[in-house]
Amino acid sequence: MKALLLAAGLGTRLRPVTNRTPKCLVPINAKPLLEYWLENLAQAGVDEFLINTSYLCEQVEEFVSTCKYKDMITLVHEKELLNTGGTVSANSDFFGGKAFMLVHADNLSFCDFKAFLNSHVNRPNGCEITMMTFKTDNPSSCGIVELDEFGVVQKFYEKVQNPPSDLANGAVYICEPSVIEFIKSLGKKEVDFSLDVLPNFMGKINTFLNDVYHRDIGTVESYALAQVEIKLNFIDF
């Protein structure tokens, strides 16, 4: 399977950490965040990666040129950020008409990624996306989902006050080619995945619960927490 790792963001909420370092390369216990994703997904069977760049792109290019996964990686530069769906649409040829993984690489995530892939293979009939979910300690800052008895998303609440639960969208997906077709049908250059795409697929989104570890490295506070949590939980990385 191929994976798109979204790594082009400015990381404004993570300043001053990101003043001189792109968010995807901030170190977690001396290892760049992006390296965790490459290692975890390669071990699970992902064999090709597309990584988009923009802010401080030279650093990402340098990292890729020296990492052991460099022969599996294609870089694509965005002069203007296209947002998640826009990046998927602009690089649709890369996926070759097959299912692909879509990852917001500003998260730190550990789980059985092979089980995640198998969850999509064995998804309920009619589902076109498999979404990784997790239990969040800050529900109002996340997209919260409501599921039916089969684990299929029925409702989605994007960063609302007093959401109905703590079950959150992890912004890690496996998508069928039909998702690209829908994005292209919107006729927009910039497409927000949560606001423009997911609402169209209610009742068609399978879920996989990551009950090991998942944290958005989006703020200085969450970045600091991740450093401590990895050490305390003795996650083998």
pLDDT at 119: 98
A 10 A CB-CB count for 109 gives 24
Cα–Cα distance, 147 to 45 (Å, whole number):
28
Stated pTM of the model = 0.92
Backbone phi and psi for residue 180, each to the nearest 5 degrees, phi listed first: -65, -40
159 is catalytic: yes
User: Under the phi-then-psi rule, with left for phi > 0, alpha for psi from -120 to 50, and beta for the rest, what region is 140?
Assistant: alpha
For residue 19, the model assigns a pLDDT of 87
Span 163-191, pLDDT tens digits: 888 999 999 999 999 999 999 999 999 99
Q: Tens digit of pLDDT for each residue in 220-234? A: 998 998 988 887 775
DSSP 55: T
Domains of the chain: 2-132+171-233 (3.90.550.10)
Q: What is the mean pLDDT of the chain?
A: 92
Band (48; pLDDT cuts 50, 70, 90)? very high
Q: How many beta carbons lie within 10 A of that of residue 227, not counting itself?
A: 14
Q: What is the pLDDT of residue 10?
A: 79
Across the chain, how many H-helices and E-strands are there? 6, 13
| Active-site residue (options: 68, 159, 189, 231) | 159
